[in-house]
Amino acid sequence: MKKPIAKIMKPSVFDEDATGFVWINDVQFKPIMWLWDGYIPKGGIVLIEGNPGEGKSHLTSFLAACVSAGNPLPDGVEIEPRTVIIVNGEDPAGIQAIRIQAAGGDLKRVLLWPDPEAAYKAFHLPQGIDVLKKLATKHNVGLIVIDPLNAHLDPKLKIYNDQDMKLVLQQLNKLAQDLNIPIIAVRHLKKAQMGSAIVSGLGSIGIIGSARAAFIVGPDPDGSGDKILACSKMNFGPKPTSLRFQIVSATVKSDDGEDIPTSKIEWLGESSYTADDLCKPDKGTEGSALEYAVEFLKEVLAEGAMPSKDVKAQAKEDGISIATLNRAKKALGIKPQKGTPHGYWELPKPKE
């Protein structure tokens, strides 16, 4: 599927001075291609973000089913059946298989790690990008899913460090561009929310900055029990309409004909709720700026000590003022440690 939006490709003519600059009239343009028109663009990272149990894995199973079997997406357009690669460090292979089968997928076109613990320990980015490229080239892959992204990053990388995240995600975006496919990256949300979807995901804001599109999955604010899929970022046009869905019971047949209970997505139509609506503090838990800052520091410093200048920079991106940050630091008993001109911040060690 094509849309009349152009993407800048590798220039064919470079400036004679070899400065790296090019004349824009020498730049080659190519139309944006879509897996799901207006929602899932090809050629880049697409984030799906939400809290545990809100339907992120059901959504990726649905997408995997559509791609593997060539089933229509919610826009009704059929797609070419292609192989799907899933790197999942949380759900056992059996659970993933029955969900994809319940959604109508072709399991013969799905590659995954059989053991999530093994995937968590053995598959890390950026090292695993070469493996993905080889598999994708060999097996006509049309979709890659990494669930969750943070679990499959090299342990040496810090998720709140912009440079670390860009190092990985630039390479992942290049892989998606070279293959002309979407790479779906699943991410959890921060514990505390203040109503801004763009900064709600766990880790550096550079993660969503590197994504071509991003979506929040969350409960219907009306309390109906339904789920909402809402776009928080779209690089290639206006944000698409939010969609409502529910997770319903389903059964699949085992190899010996036994019924196996599972669940799948059922689409219910459009919703007026935005991604920001889904990220507002829960009613009845008056989320204050200080509470948000305290949770922010707990998450940022969970990986260990961090230069105070980096903490403050990340806090600024999250909309936390220096005054509120310092109040949160005092509330947590954080005392700057010497080591650099700016000092390090570190969570106090728990008392034994």
**345 CB-contact burial (10 Å; exposed 0-12 / middle 13-18 / buried 19+):** buried
Reported CATH class of domain 32-278:
alpha beta
| Domain boundaries for CATH 1.10.10 within the chain | 289-345
**42 CB-contact burial (10 Å; exposed 0-12 / middle 13-18 / buried 19+):** buried
Per the model's pLDDT, the better-predicted residue between 339 and 296 turns out to be: 296
Which single residue is written with the structure tokens 């789920």?
227
pLDDT over threshold 50, residue 286: no
44 vs 170: CA distance, rounded Å: 10
Question: Tens digit of pLDDT for each residue in 303-336?
Answer: 778 888 888 887 877 778 888 888 888 888 887 7
Question: Tens digit of pLDDT for each residue in 223-251?
Answer: 999 999 999 999 999 999 999 999 999 99
Per the model's pLDDT, the better-predicted residue between 303 and 110 turns out to be: 110
pLDDT bin (cut points 50, 70, 90) of residue 256 is confident
| Domain boundaries for CATH 3.40.50.300 within the chain | 32-278
Question: Tens digit of pLDDT for each residue in 178-220?
Answer: 999 999 999 999 877 667 899 889 888 899 999 999 999 999 9
Calculate mean pLDDT across residues 70-80: 92
CATH T-level assignment (fold) for domain 289-345: Arc Repressor Mutant, subunit A (1.10.10)
Element (H, E) at 47: strand 44-49
Find the helix packing angle between 308-317 and 322-332, rounded to 10°.
Answer: 120
Which single residue is written with the structure tokens 């409502």?
244
Calculate mean pLDDT across residues 291-307: 80
pLDDT over threshold 50, residue 75: yes
Question: Tens digit of pLDDT for each residue in 124-159?
Answer: 999 999 999 999 999 999 999 999 998 899 988 888
303 vs 299: CA distance, rounded Å: 8
The DSSP secondary structure of 109-164, one letter per residue, reads: GEEE-S-HHHHHHH--BTTTHHHHHHHHHHTTEEEEEEESTGGGB-TTS-TT-HHH
pLDDT bin (cut points 50, 70, 90) of residue 285 is very low
301: three-class secondary structure by DSSP: helix
pLDDT over threshold 90, residue 272: yes
Question: Tens digit of pLDDT for each residue in 82-109?
Answer: 999 999 988 888 999 999 999 999 999 9
pLDDT value for 282: 61
pLDDT value for 333: 83
Mention every residue, 6+ apart, whose C-beta is less than 8 A from residue 166.
Answer: 206, 210
Question: Tens digit of pLDDT for each residue in 1-37?
Answer: 555 444 444 444 545 566 678 888 888 878 889 999 9
Question: Tens digit of pLDDT for each residue in 49-63?
Answer: 999 899 999 999 999
